[in-house]
Amino acid sequence: MYLFSDRLYRKDEITLDSSKKQIIFTTINNQEIIAWLDGQGFPESFIEDIQNEDQSIVYEDHADFKLLILKYFVPDEEDQLLYHADNVVIILMKNTLLFLGRDKHIIKHITNKLYKRYHPNDSLEYIAYNIIDIMVDHTMWIIDSIDDQLEEIEDRIFSESIDEHKVQMDLYFARRTLNRISKLSVQTNDVVNKLYNHLPSERRRKLKYEFIDLKEHLSFSINESKTYLDRTGYLQTLLMGFLSNRMNQAMQRLAAISLIFLPITFIAGVYGMNFKFMPELEWKYGYFLVWGINFTLAFFIYTWLKKKRWI
């Protein structure tokens, strides 16, 4: 558990005191926090939303509480282009801000980033803005990272030693991640608008430009994720076209080889027929003549195909 007051504290047990300013970071399954919220009159429906793993992005407003459930993207072990969205919870009270996450790594990351921005005189609303901004910046970093990897995938497509299955899997995972980011960023933008509109007028005035900047970052995430989603479709089409072209080249070479042997096969078929009178069979140099014709035909056909760049 982490606590911000005049500075950052890290303790296993923290005394919760609603009478003084506290910013607390802990896990969603922290029963001490859940019990404390229940004792503070936190609505039971809100607690159910917090503990629901499948809960979507949501903003709930209460007389004494503001609840935001957002998504934080974490990498998957299967592929570096695949990210999953984990629930994180921000609860705003009169003197307390709670940040709850399912993964301790998420809590540590947000805490370390906030530590560089935190000032004891910051309002809780400004702290909430900073936390959301850190999460949005993380999403923007993921989008930029996917962009770099798409560049690398495009180079791999034109490589002679291309691993077709690996490229297809990478593009599939990139599409899943970008599609997820696009949809969740739209929902996050709606929640940010609701949070800003429910702030006291004085706070709205003071945080106007901060939230404008935050919404611009969210718009960037939405637009860029859609752009790169289209690019993955282009790369899939490019991959299919490249593989199709390579297959056509292979078929073209096979056709060229067949064309070389076609007249030779015809001659072999003629002399394989059982006719009684075949003058060439009685001629001393007939065998060598047939071989000469075969080699000459093969040479001229090969030269012609080479000139046409079939082989």
Domains and CATH numbers, the chain: 2-245 (3.30.460.20), 246-307 (1.20.58.340)
Token pair for 309: 């760049």
Given a cut of 70, is residue 220 above it in pLDDT? yes
Q: Rounded to the nearest 5°, which phi and psi values hold at 285?
A: -105, 15
- Per-chain mean pLDDT for the chain: 85
**Do residues 107 and 27 make contact, with C-beta atoms less than 8 angstroms apart?**
yes
Tell me the average pLDDT across 208-222.
Answer: 94
C-beta of residue 169 within 8 angstroms of C-beta of residue 79: yes
Residue 71, SS3 per DSSP: strand
Mean pLDDT of 23-47: 85
Answer yes or no: is pLDDT of 6 > 60.
no
In sequence order, which residues have a C-beta less than 8 Å from that of residue 168 and are 6 or more positions away? 236, 239
**Do the strands 22-27 and 96-101 form a parallel or antiparallel pair, or are they unpaired?**
parallel
- For the chain, report the end-to-end CA distance as a whole number of angstroms: 69
Summarised one tens digit per residue, pLDDT across range 117-131 is: 888 888 899 999 999
Determine the Cα–Cα distance for residues 153 and 231; give it in Å rounded to an integer: 11
Check: CB of residue 23 under 8 Å from CB of residue 3. Answer: yes
Query: Looking at residue 16, what is its pLDDT?
Result: 72
Task: Check residue 9 and give its pLDDT.
Answer: 56
Q: Assess contact for 67 and 89: CB atoms under 8 A.
A: yes
Q: How far apart, in whole angstroms, are the C-alpha atoms of residue 33 and residue 3? A: 13
**Token pair of 58 as six digits:** 């949501």
Question: How do residues 239-265 score in pLDDT, each as one tens digit?
Answer: 887 777 677 777 878 888 888 788 888
Whole-angstrom distance, CA of residue 309 vs CA of residue 256:
10
CB distance 177 to 228 below 8 Å = no
pLDDT of 191 higher than 90 = yes
- Alpha-carbon distances of 94 from 20, 59, 292, rounded to whole Å: 9, 17, 101
Distance CA 268, CA 294 (A): 9
Contact 99, 82 (CB under 8 A): no
Q: Which amino acid is at 210?
A: E
> Positive or negative, the Cα torsion across 175, 109, 43, 194?
negative
Better pLDDT: 172 or 247 = 172
pLDDT over 80 at 18, yes or no = no
Residues 135-148 have pLDDT tens digits of: 999 999 999 999 99
Q: What average pLDDT does the segment 287-300 reach?
A: 82
The predicted-structure confidence for 59-117, as pLDDT tens digits, reads as follows 998 888 899 999 999 998 878 899 999 999 999 988 889 999 888 888 888 988 888 88
Percent of the chain residues past pLDDT 90, beyond the cut? 35
Is residue 157 predicted with pLDDT exceeding 90?
no
What does the pLDDT read at residue 138?
Answer: 95
Tokens 């901060």 — which residue? 210
